Amino acid sequence: MKWKLEHTILLLFLCAGTAAAVLGVFAFRLARHEEEFQKQQMANLLRSECKVFAERCRDTLESIKRELIRKAAGTGPEIRAIDRAVRTEPLFAEGFFTTADGLLRYPAPDSAFARRYEELFTGMISARHAESELFANIVVPADRAAYLSSRTLAKRDDSSRILPILPASPLKRKTAPGKSAGKTPERPEGSAVRPNAAFRKSLPAPAALKQMQAQRQSTLNEIAAAKSPSASEANRSPAMIRRFEAIIRNRNSGYIPWYNGNRFTPLVWARSGTASGGAVCGFELETTMLLAKLIPLFPDHLPSYFRIEFLDAKDKLIHSSGGERQGNTEAALIMPFSEQLLPNYQIRAYLLTDHLPRNSFHSILWMQLASLCLIILLAGGIALFLIRKQAGLARQKTHFVSQVSHELKTPLTSIRMYSELLKDHVSALSDEKRKRYLNVIREESERLTRLVDNVLDFGRLETNRRKYHPQPLDLTEILPKVCTNANDLLRRSGMEIRLTLPDGPIPVSLDRDTLTQILHNLFDNACKYAGAGKYIDVTLYPDSILVRDHGPGIPASARNKIFRPFYRIDNSLSAETSGSGLGLAISRRLLRDQGGDLVLEPNNHRGAGFRILLPPNPADHGADPLCRTTKS
Amino acid sequence: MKHKPGILSAGFALALLLGTGAQANANATTVTLRAEPEKNILLSGIGQDAMIKISIETSAAANEQKSRVNLCIALDRSGSMHGMNKIQNARAAAVAALNMLGENDRFSLVTYDSRARVLIPSTRVTDANRRELTEKINAVTLGGSTALFAGVSLAANEIAKCREAGFVNRIVLLSDGQANVGPSSAQELGRLGRGLVKEGVSVSTVGVGSDYNENLMTALAQNSDGNFYFVENSRDLSLIFEKELGSALAVAAKDVRLRIVCPPGITPKGILGHECRIHGQEIELDFNQIYAGHSKVLILQVGLPAAENGTEKTIASVKMDYLDNALKKEFSENRSVHLAFASDQSKVKGSLNKAVSADVALQQSALLREQALAEADKGNFSSSRKIMESAGTLLRKNAAITNAPAVQKEADIAAEEIRKLEKAKSAPSSYSRVRKEIIGNSFQIRNSQLFKQK
């Protein structure tokens, strides 16, 4: 039974532990998932923040561009007017004007400006494919392959938006006359980029490139096909055309994102007057000023786990906002700033996971798991302790039963034996023998009674059914009587009580029977275990009674256990002394129930000493320290 | 060649400075335009260059009425500001600057390290918020690298928040290191300065220690019509801020536009030490402001064709439009410069205007010393030394002729610089220090800076 219970408990623990472990693993997975989810949320937030910021920048750039074009349109094709505009407009670095067909008139052809924009003003492109190559300078500032391979997916995708532009007229009228009927010849700036939903989706780089090329080719084919019916018209128009002329053809104003080598030097231009045949006035924009206008738009108070960077075409950092990043942090988002207005400039957003706020869910989980483990351990510990205690108690009870049976059997055997002797040989026995036999029967009966009394007492004490009748007693009167009675019994064991009393009376409120019982228990123990000591010293103090024998004393290992019920120093049936192991436990309980106590005296001299601490007496009197010793 | 005594005696022994006119209120304005040639008589028969000193002078009287200041301090808080109490002194200087501002002035503070941020947005300085602003300045701590471009951009944005008329818009940029985030070249920052000056914002730059990029700092100050200061010991920062704000608080003229027109045949070659727009016969030059009690000196160089003995010519007419800051009225002034030609060398020598000659020598020596540094940068220390020595010689000779104390002092400084450069050529760190000193000094001469440090 014991074995089974322990194993069941262990099994239960094991189950609970396994459940806790499974729960822990599950909780951790949940926490990790939660963390990933949070990270994802943060990344989404960063992306949207970034997009909003980019949108704001684009809007600002658009409005700047519109304003500058307006200024250009308001400037006449005169050196003085252009100079005045350059002198007053912070974003204008230099000005120029051309003829209606884009021939540079000012500055002079040998000027630094003209040299810088030679490719734009004097570079010739195929008139047939003019529109498609207009922005070649933007898309491919250097080596195309290197450009594409160096670009990120987002930028590649965005770069695909710069597509050949279908000629506005007359081709478009021919292909879609209904749609273009109400349009003015001027093409709005935004239409330079033909929106194409297919390209806006994220595609793998080669696929995007291939699709872009296919799209471009199809557009070129479309142009060629549209032009082929009017072969004569094609023959009339020149085969090559100046790039700038191609750009301003059929438009009144515009923005040209231009790269001079690695330096971005965009231009704005506008025809003077409303007529499309007017001279063109334009200005080179000061990129540093343009960038300086964008920097204040950066979100100032980004949390430290976000970082937004603004990079130029050479991937050089222009400005950043948010936390500091390590060199190897991967960007959460790379997007072009504006392929039309600031081509090749990028915005990069980073989610700095190291700086993310500590996951509170995670820590709560940890705490919960730790408390769960603690509770399991604590409960296990308590259960084990109780089991061990129960097991110990059961063992003691078994011993007790065997002991009591043995104890009962011994006097019963004597009683039975002597009573049979008396019955069978009553006439043959002398008076003296009969008397002795009857004495033995009486003694054994008394012993039996004491034993039964003790067991009953213990039972009552355990169930709190024991009734006390405390009464005022003078110990100086009671003690000599009890000791005298006890002496009669003790003398048979060759022992004697030596009583020491104080001079004055020691009043105490106690149940007289319990005091007698306690003292008898102590004397009985002294008889059993300290018979060799001959004397039992009983000393009465104002607050206690000390009972000391002169026997072998109590071993140190047993000193803490002797008051436990059923505890015996030698618990074996073959022990020299008999007993139930209840005497001391009962005595202590009886005293404690009445406000006193029974303690073991420190083992500082030979023999065992027990001190009965008397319950406090309200009418305490000053006891005379002088004692008188009485040999009773 | 035949003399024409009548003409010569008619006063061409002296420079002819004719004020032609359009002074709207001659009694009120404190700004004066002068244009004087170095020599009133030039040698006839040869093509040559002539130097003309154009000076814009203001009287200190304009100082009485202080302008309202819209000041933004861009403070470098990069890691290099650590040590030598640099950041502490910079903070103290910023607080001193704040305390110099009055109730009607505006103040903002931008700090920059690897990022730039607006620490104090543009705000009107009042007695109530002065303490709070001071606390914010004192809370500036050190950071990482140097995003100077972003710092200036944000500062310009703060200035732009208050574009009311009547404010002197000023950014004071303090840096002790190399800009390493964003556009960082002298050219780029120079272009930024050129844009800012059109917005009416001047950037005065203060280089601290021996690690700042002097080319960048001077280009930014030069192009934005600001001042440049160099301080080796950050303890001097408060003094610099005081001088800078002292000048900003007393602006006599704003939006100054100079237009110099040369008659046909005479080639305007430029103004020494200044970038200017030359269109054919015209040169244009703008200044954001001219400080009270200040004399802005510009040396115009023109190429003259050979002229006959006894002839006289108008070689340039100078027009200046400006806004009198005290009167809040626009004025316009015109001056013409005339020269006579003679074959007599003694007459030519005798016509020397010593004051103008001294200024020409100072400007030329400043340019020569910058040239010498360009050579030294390439490692050509011998040719650098030669150029430096020629600058020294120029100054010494000029001092002997003109007896100008300023030239004599500059000659001594040049001699000292030659010695320092000679010592420093083998040690890059000390070369860098000497270079900064020479560049700073040269900048202050070229721009006739009101507060010169030497």
> What number is the average pLDDT over the span A471-491?
84
DSSP class per residue in A39-86: HHHHHHHHHHHHHHHHHHHHHHHHHHHHHHHHHHHHS-SSHHHHHHHH
Mean pLDDT, rounded, of chain B: 86
Nearest C-alpha neighbor of B175 from the set B128, B226, B113: B113
Per the CB < 8 A criterion, the answer to whether B58 and B290 are in contact is yes
ipTM: 0.82
Q: Which of B199, B257, B279 sits opposite A90 (nearest CB)?
A: B199
User: For A411-447, what is each residue's pLDDT tens digit?
Assistant: 788 888 888 888 888 888 888 888 888 888 888 888 7
Minimal Cα distance from A79: which residue of B? B279
Give B115→chain A minimum CA distance, Å. 6
> What number is the average pLDDT over the span A369-373?
83
- pLDDT of A145 reads 35
Interface contact A313, partner B, CB < 8 A: no
Per the CB < 8 A criterion, the answer to whether B68 and B367 are in contact is no
What pLDDT band is residue B35 in, cutting at 50, 70 and 90?
Answer: very high
Domain assignment of residue A513, given as a range? 469-631
The fold of the B67-249 domain, in CATH, is Rossmann fold (3.40.50)
- pLDDT of A274 reads 58
> What number is the average pLDDT over the span B120-145?
88
> Is residue A241 domain-shared with residue A263, that is, in the same domain?
yes
* Range of lowest pLDDT (A159-168, B56-65, B263-272): A159-168
Whether residue A257 is contained in a domain is answered as yes
Whether residue A19 is contained in a domain is answered as no
Beta-carbon-side half-sphere exposure of residue A34 (alpha carbons within 13 Å): 14
> Is residue A614 domain-shared with residue A533, that is, in the same domain?
yes
Q: Which of B182, B192, B257 sits opposite A318 (nearest CB)?
A: B182
Helix (H, G, I), strand (E, B) or coil at B130: helix
- pLDDT of A16 reads 79
Residue numbers of A between 538 and 557 with CB closer than 8 Å to B: none
> Is residue A100 domain-shared with residue A234, that is, in the same domain?
yes
Whether residue A396 is contained in a domain is answered as no
Give how far Cα A40 sits from Cα of A33, A279, A299, A332, A404, Å: 10, 55, 21, 10, 76
> Is residue A323 domain-shared with residue A249, that is, in the same domain?
no
> Is residue A75 domain-shared with residue A200, that is, in the same domain?
yes
Q: CA–CA separation, A172 vs A298, rounded Å?
A: 41
Whether residue A446 is contained in a domain is answered as no
> Which of A355, A373, A399 delimits the end of a domain?
A355
> Which of A355, A380, A398 delimits the end of a domain?
A355
CATH number for the domain formed by residue range(s) B5-63+252-352: 2.60.40.3670
User: For B143-180, what is each residue's pLDDT tens digit?
Assistant: 778 889 999 999 999 999 887 777 889 999 998 877 88
- pLDDT of A63 reads 93
> Is residue A167 domain-shared with residue A306, that is, in the same domain?
no
- pLDDT of B71 reads 93
Cis amide prior to A565 (ω within 30 degrees):
no
Per the CB < 8 A criterion, the answer to whether A534 and A491 are in contact is no
Query: Do B144 and A324 count as a contact with CB atoms less than 8 A apart?
Result: yes
> Which of A253, A274, A293 delimits the end of a domain?
A293
Query: Do B284 and A83 count as a contact with CB atoms less than 8 A apart?
Result: yes
> Is residue A490 domain-shared with residue A539, that is, in the same domain?
yes
CB-based contacts of B378: which residues, under 8 Å, 6+ apart?
none
Taking 80 as the threshold, does the pLDDT of residue A545 lie above it? Answer: yes
Q: Which of A287, A300, A324 sits opposite B118 (nearest CB)?
A: A300
> Is residue A87 domain-shared with residue A142, that is, in the same domain?
yes
> Is residue A252 domain-shared with residue A140, that is, in the same domain?
yes
Encoded tokens for A425: 């040989």
Per the CB < 8 A criterion, the answer to whether B94 and B277 are in contact is no
Whether residue A246 is contained in a domain is answered as yes
> Is residue A286 domain-shared with residue A309, that is, in the same domain?
no
> What's the residue count for chain A?
632
Whether residue A73 is contained in a domain is answered as yes
Chain B environment of A87 (Cβ under 8 Å): 198, 257, 277, 284, 286
- pLDDT of A66 reads 92
- pLDDT of A359 reads 62
At A580, give phi and psi (nearest 5°): -100, -15
Whether residue A125 is contained in a domain is answered as yes
Chain A environment of B286 (Cβ under 8 Å): 87
> What number is the average pLDDT over the span B339-357?
91
Chain A environment of B157 (Cβ under 8 Å): 292, 295-296
> Is residue A321 domain-shared with residue A206, that is, in the same domain?
no
> Is residue A267 domain-shared with residue A309, that is, in the same domain?
no
Nearest C-alpha neighbor of B365 from the set B391, B390, B385: B391
Q: In B5-143, where do the E strands start and end?
A: 16-19, 31-37, 41-43, 48-58, 68-76, 106-112, 116-124
Cis amide prior to A552 (ω within 30 degrees):
no
Q: Number of folded domains in chain A?
A: 3
